Amino acid sequence: MSRISSSASNSQTPSIFITAPIDANSEGLDHALFTSVDASELISTTNSTAYQENITLNKKPTKKPSNLQINSSNKVQSTNNFQLKYPYSEVSIQNEYLSFYNLKPFIPILQNELLLEKVGKPLNFTISSNIAIGTNLGKICIIDFDGNILAILAKQNLYLGLVSSLQFSIDGSRIVAGYSEGYIVVWTWENPTVEVIITPRSKSSITENEPTAFHLKSHPITHVCFVGRSRHRFISADTKGNLFHHQIISKVVLSKVKSIFMFNNLIAKPIDYKGISFLIDVAALPRGPISSPVDKFGVLAALYSDSFIVFQTQPRIEIIYKKSLTLHAEKKSDLGSISWLPSNHIYSIQTYNSIICSTSDKVSVFYLDDTNLNTKIGKITIKPFFEWEARSEINIVQWINPLNFLAITSDNAIYVIDICNKVESKVFSLSTIQLLSQPWLAADSGLDIAGTFRYSFANYKNSQYILAKNNIYTFNLRTWQERILWLMDEGRFIEVITLCTGLYKGDTGQPVFGLPPSSKSLISLHNIKSLSPDSESIIANLDTQREFLVGPKLATLIQASLKFLFSAKYDEISINTAQNDTRDFKSTKRLALLNKVYRTVNISTILASLLLAIIEACVATKKLDFLFKDIFEQVCIYSEAELIFLETLEPFIENGIISVVSPQVLQSLVKCYSENSSSRKKLEECLIYINLKPQGGILTFDIDGILSVCYNWRMWKASCRIWVDILNDSVTPLNQITDHISLSLNNRILYNGISSIRSDDWYLEEKLVDEFKVLFAALESCLCGKMYPIDSPRQPLSLAQKICVETLEWMLKQFSIDKKLLKSPTKNNHSSSQTPRSTFSNFEPMSDYNNRFYKDNCYLNQENNYHKLEKTISTKSDQGLNYHIEHRNTDLYHILKILFAFNTHKTLSVLNNAMNSEFIEQIVLVMPESSITYIGGIPNQSDSPKFIKSAKKVKSATQATADALLEFLQINSKPLALETVNEASYSQEYNPEQSFWVGREKLGLIACFLAQIFVSKYPLIYFPDATDNFLTRVLLQTSTLQTLNECENALENLLKICSPFSNTQELIEMVKKSGFYRVLGVLYKSTSQLPLVIQTYFDDHNSNRKKLVFNEIFKLFSASDEEYSQQAKANLTNFIKQNLDKLFNINPLALIILAENHTIEGFSHKYILQIFSENLEYASLEFKYLDIVFNLKYLVNGKMSLNELSSISLNGQDLEQLVQIKNDSEGQHFKYGYYEILLLPNGRLFELDKLPLDQLQIITEKFP
């Protein structure tokens, strides 16, 4: 048989063709239905012209006969071959993911109008080793990939209709084709022969007793497919949704076909089914490269608009799976597709047979579990394991490999979906290229349904093929290596490095071809069979294999990208400095490429993005040495590039991603970032997270230089981190900060007076916010055994304990020097505007002498202290540090004084957290003998066993802290003159002009803290004798309006465990003068002076506590006689009756409820009204009282306005406390605090309803 070959003419400008939908009523289609064209007419036509080009005949030697004719024997014979020349349009589109183009050899065939008139226009195609195209003239053209027409299959003496469906057998030797008239033909095309024709039947010729295993005439065959590897068994389906299984039985003379009806879409529906069901797609499971137990069953899948069904065809036809689908009635079209993936191997793992099913915009993936086939169950189990939803309806789904499938949506977008990593990528948009659809169902039924694309898309040998109106397009998805090459050729250096980084880690967020996935994601797949030990070993090495493949390429790409970019930078500099006529072509070409790709010629902007990608790559590959040596050296060629590198590196350090840098990078970071205040903040954050610890016992960094920069620029956070966590020294940085605070304190007192430091927020005015944040955070971390500033436990434990002990000794030491360090001639020694000394030279921080002094001379006598300090400062003065001692006096607990003067609340908060931590409970201190042997000169007035007579030298950390605070409080309380109980002494406040005293309010807070610690920690903490008396006096003397509540709470808790005064009356007098009314009430209770207890509520300025007086009355009268005598309660009753007006003014509603409850004997509405009536000054109270009791129903129902409530001395808060608890036949039951009342249905209170009629009449006459 001769081959018809065609040669294409020169290519012209590419163009895109839009395929129009097939119209069954069009003139051309009618012509095709009733016209039979002999193939000999095609080849006998010569000298015909199309688009001014001639069709010439050229001979080509073949092994087949030379004449091509269709005769009555149904054999196709060949005649002379001819070559076509014709203008055509080429399409070639490239992107990162794929290369898309039309098949050039097919252009002269599919765009030749003369040829199309003879053979017909393409309607569908199928691909094996060749391509078969079905046409609207009922012909099938077999064409190889070189564009040679191998055969044209058609029946000359029988009109079959249009080719509506076709498919090659798996070996490519046979084609089964369905036609629009209902015919099915099996062709052997190499020696053109009709193996079998299945003829449709008309409805009129069917009898009732006839079998139904046939298609109806004039109903198109929408789907045909061979089953598995078979050349004899195939499936057909028509527009009615009927499925048939056919088997060719070869005979000596004539072959027969055995057809079995499989499924009738209408018969399968229930009687009351009202929906429209139609067939969308049919596909049989092909045989894969490896055998599977499922192969012998001849599995077939059918997708209907309302169900998805899987059949087995061997040994019997049976439905093995059915899933109902939801109809989308609101949509005009229902699209869908199915695609099989036979069992396969991927990285030595065997996968199950799998199938994709798409309906509308949703995709479901199933696998066929065959593990039960060898058991008694003996069935295939179909299980879903993956779902995906597209942004629009899906036309086609197609497996690419066991890990990926593609989907083409109705908006012509191509997506690739990775089921292993569960990611998707839109890889291409077909734009105006429209696939040919097969609209047979719409043409036959008249439904507004889109056509299917089963025979317009094919996958063959990893290439995808698309059939359009006059083109066959193909595209190949690029492997990871091809993607890298394409990106580099395009000049997309940033994208290629980012891609390679993701490839190395296995998390690109995109489908990837040709590279092992991550072992974790591969094992998580559900459609893989159980793993063998060998498979597990291979999977475990997948990550290593992937890293080995990508790593070297990534390093090469980084260097090549930087080289190109710096060449472009050099070009930019050269162009800016050179004359226009001396510009190099390559220079402008490099800049033009960058401008084209990144829409800018600003090299710095591109470099920043490139360096970001490079740093991420080096972090992912753990090649930080390569980053900080090779890359950094290359970057440092340009100073601007060096700064860009550091700015890009900074977030990685601050987020803890990079903790180790080279000494060169650190030196560059310090040099570049210490130039202005904003960058210094960034430098400080970087220094916090960079690991500066010695490597192998050797410091590789200039720690002295770094600490010098930190001190000079007040980077306290970084300084504390380096001193504490790197050098294991907590005292030095804390000293540095407190020295700076002390300087600010002294200056503030000097210029503004001591009252200027009384408030805890004075540091805001002095701009000591950073000192405030760092000092207390670092102090708490050291005391609680944690790292600073990351707040994680410090290891080893012995080191944490050592730092805690040193910090406590520093904070609690008794003797220190009150240093006034003033710079001459300016006021501030370390202004932020001051130019710092050289970063890495002459490092002599001020804290150096502090460190030596505090560690070596903590408890030296005063004279030695001064000599050593004076000598040290004199040495520093020679080096330019101008300090001098203004005062020479011993300052006990100097550090505590600074801390409390700085911020008392925060200091106490840190101490509280430390003393309540489990860590500090393990710390024991060896303390010096106390220099204070008494507590404020107060003799022992307590016989309580809770106090010990002497303090131990070896103490727990909590005990030592409490003792130091107590001693500090005693020392600083002397100005309060607490030794006597003279009233004048209480009002006197010691306020020297030039003395550093923490102040009354702060001393009160310290006393509160000690009292609370003593109460909560007893018996773990003991205080010396008379401490309770001392704390009581301090609390009473130091309370202010701001600290009244705290002091009163502390005293109240202290009185619960001890009695600080043997004479309670003396204590009562002191408490009364201090205005501690809550404590005063407790003391009056202890002496059974119940009227005075209530009097404290009247005298208290706290309105909230005043309102609690009614709850107190209830508790007092509810107490037993053993607690309070009858006489005491009688005295309380008389007191209440005498103070009705005060109780009414506090809360009239509560007074009414008190009378309603009979809590007090003889205390009722009658009594209250009588008292009000007898006293003229109570007339207004009587009116308000009556107004409330008679309108209580309106009050509880919220029918009174705020103004009306105010007129009767009530507010909304009082009413909110009145809560209804139930409603029954008796009336409405309410609860008010401890009291319960009943509101009768007539709206009156229960007890009020008992008033005598004569009294009610008097009331009515008095208040009509």
Label residue 981 by pLDDT band (50, 70, 90). Answer: very low
- pLDDT at 208 > cutoff 90: no
- pLDDT at 943 > cutoff 70: no
Rounded-to-integer distance, Cα 652 and Cα 151, Å: 66
Label residue 573 by pLDDT band (50, 70, 90). Answer: low
851-865, 1015-1029, 1127-1141: range with lowest mean pLDDT = 851-865
Rounded-to-integer distance, Cα 952 and Cα 177, Å: 106
Per-residue model confidence as pLDDT tens digits over 1202-1245: 665 666 666 666 666 777 777 877 777 877 777 777 777 766 67
pLDDT at 526: 77
**What value does the mean pLDDT take over residues 1137-1145?**
87
Amino acid symbol at 166: L
**pTM listed for this prediction:** 0.69
Residue with structure tokens 């078969």? 132
The overall average pLDDT reported for the chain is: 77
Residue 29: other Cβ atoms inside 10 A: 16
CB burial readout 288-297, b (16+ within 10 A) else e: beeebebbeb
CA distances, 558 to each of 97, 618, 641 (Å)? 21, 10, 15
CA distances, 968 to each of 11, 317, 964, 974 (Å)? 98, 97, 6, 11
pLDDT at 755: 83
Find the DSSP H helices in 674-761: 677-689, 703-712, 716-721, 731-752
pLDDT at 301: 95
pLDDT at 707: 92
Rounded-to-integer distance, Cα 95 and Cα 559, Å: 24
- DSSP-derived secondary structure for 70-108: B-TT--B------B----EE--EEE-SSEEEEE-GGGHH
- pLDDT at 1184 > cutoff 60: yes
**What value does the mean pLDDT take over residues 193-202?**
90
Token reading at 1116? 């007092």
Percent of the residues in the chain that have a pLDDT greater than 90, as a whole number: 32
Label residue 324 by pLDDT band (50, 70, 90). Answer: confident
Rounded-to-integer distance, Cα 428 and Cα 650, Å: 37
CB burial readout 936-971, b (16+ within 10 A) else e: bebeebbeeebbeeebeeebbbbbbbbbbbbbbbbb
Q: Please return the burial class of 1012, using the count of CB atoms within 10 Å of its CB with bins 0-12, 13-18 and 19+.
A: middle
Rounded-to-integer distance, Cα 922 and Cα 802, Å: 12
215 φ, ψ (degrees, to nearest 5): -90, 160
Label residue 474 by pLDDT band (50, 70, 90). Answer: very high
533-542, 669-678, 731-740, 948-957: range with lowest mean pLDDT = 948-957
CB burial readout 119-158, b (16+ within 10 A) else e: bbbbbbbbbbebbbbbbbbbbbbbbeeebbbbbbbbbbee
pLDDT at 1196: 67
**What value does the mean pLDDT take over residues 831-855?**
33
Decide if 499 contacts 485 (C-beta within 8 A): no
Decide if 171 contacts 207 (C-beta within 8 A): no
Q: Please return the burial class of 198, using the count of CB atoms within 10 Å of its CB with bins 0-12, 13-18 and 19+.
A: buried
pLDDT at 479: 93
Token reading at 123? 């309607």
Amino acid symbol at 602: N
Decide if 440 contacts 222 (C-beta within 8 A): yes
- pLDDT at 528 > cutoff 50: yes
Comparing 869 with 384, the larger pLDDT belongs to 384
- pLDDT at 994 > cutoff 70: no
Rounded-to-integer distance, Cα 1186 and Cα 1032, Å: 47
pLDDT at 790: 83
Q: What is the dihedral of CA 683, 687, 691, 696, to 10 degrees?
A: 100
Find the DSSP H helices in 446-584: 480-489, 493-505, 519-523, 533-540, 542-577
pLDDT at 821: 33
Decide if 1004 contacts 972 (C-beta within 8 A): no
Q: Which residues contact 437 (CB under 8 A, 6 or more apart)?
A: 21, 450, 451, 452, 453, 456
Q: Which helix (H) or strand (E) holds 1205?
A: helix 1202-1207
pLDDT at 332: 46
CB burial readout 495-508, b (16+ within 10 A) else e: bbbbbbbbbbbbeb
Cα four-point dihedral sign 518, 521, 527, 530:
positive
Q: Number of helices and strands (H, E) in the chain? A: 46, 42
Rounded-to-integer distance, Cα 1060 and Cα 784, Å: 33
8-12, 332-336, 477-481, 578-582: range with lowest mean pLDDT = 8-12
1224 φ, ψ (degrees, to nearest 5): -135, -165
pLDDT at 1007: 93
Rounded-to-integer distance, Cα 333 and Cα 351, Å: 35
Rounded-to-integer distance, Cα 752 and Cα 765, Å: 12
Decide if 900 contacts 776 (C-beta within 8 A): no
Decide if 819 contacts 849 (C-beta within 8 A): no
Label residue 1170 by pLDDT band (50, 70, 90). Answer: confident
- DSSP-derived secondary structure for 944-979: -TTEESS--SEEEHHHHHHHHHHHHHHHHTGGG-TT
pLDDT at 486: 93
156 φ, ψ (degrees, to nearest 5): -80, -40
pLDDT at 982: 35
pLDDT at 252: 64
99-108, 367-376, 469-478, 1090-1099: range with lowest mean pLDDT = 367-376
Label residue 107 by pLDDT band (50, 70, 90). Answer: confident
Query: Could you give all domains of the chain from N- to C-terminal order, each with its CATH number?
Result: 1-205+215-277 (2.130.10), 728-921 (no CATH), 923-1054 (no CATH), 1119-1264 (no CATH)
Label residue 887 by pLDDT band (50, 70, 90). Answer: very low
Decide if 1076 contacts 1048 (C-beta within 8 A): yes
Comparing 785 with 251, the larger pLDDT belongs to 785
347 φ, ψ (degrees, to nearest 5): 50, 50
- pLDDT at 52 > cutoff 80: no
pLDDT at 851: 37
- Of the candidates 331, 272, 354, 266, the one whose C-alpha atom is nearest the C-alpha of residue 304 is 266
pLDDT at 1233: 72
- pLDDT at 24 > cutoff 70: no
Label residue 1249 by pLDDT band (50, 70, 90). Answer: low
Label residue 929 by pLDDT band (50, 70, 90). Answer: low
**What value does the mean pLDDT take over residues 1050-1057?**
88
Peptide bond into 439 cis (omega under 30): no
Label residue 355 by pLDDT band (50, 70, 90). Answer: very high
pLDDT at 1216: 67
Task: Tell me the three state secondary structure of residue 304.
Answer: strand
Q: Which residues contact 146 (CB under 8 A, 6 or more apart)?
A: 5, 105
pLDDT at 657: 92
**Most confident of the ranges 249-253, 417-421, 1110-1114:** 417-421
Q: Which residues contact 782 (CB under 8 A, 6 or more apart)?
A: 724, 730, 734, 788, 803, 804, 807
Residue with structure tokens 């977008």? 413
Decide if 427 contacts 405 (C-beta within 8 A): no
- DSSP-derived secondary structure for 325-344: ----TTSS---EEEEEE---
Label residue 697 by pLDDT band (50, 70, 90). Answer: low
- Of the candidates 183, 160, 184, the one whose C-alpha atom is nearest the C-alpha of residue 174 is 184
**What value does the mean pLDDT take over residues 183-196?**
91
Token reading at 1165? 């509405």
**What value does the mean pLDDT take over residues 1149-1160?**
80
Q: Which residues contact 1051 (CB under 8 A, 6 or more apart)?
A: 1011, 1032, 1035, 1036, 1071, 1076, 1079
- Of the candidates 454, 463, 319, the one whose C-alpha atom is nearest the C-alpha of residue 396 is 454
Per-residue model confidence as pLDDT tens digits over 587-634: 577 777 777 777 776 788 888 999 999 999 999 999 999 999 999 998
Label residue 1057 by pLDDT band (50, 70, 90). Answer: confident
Residue with structure tokens 């001020």? 846
Strands 1023-1024 and 947-948: parallel
pLDDT at 83: 43
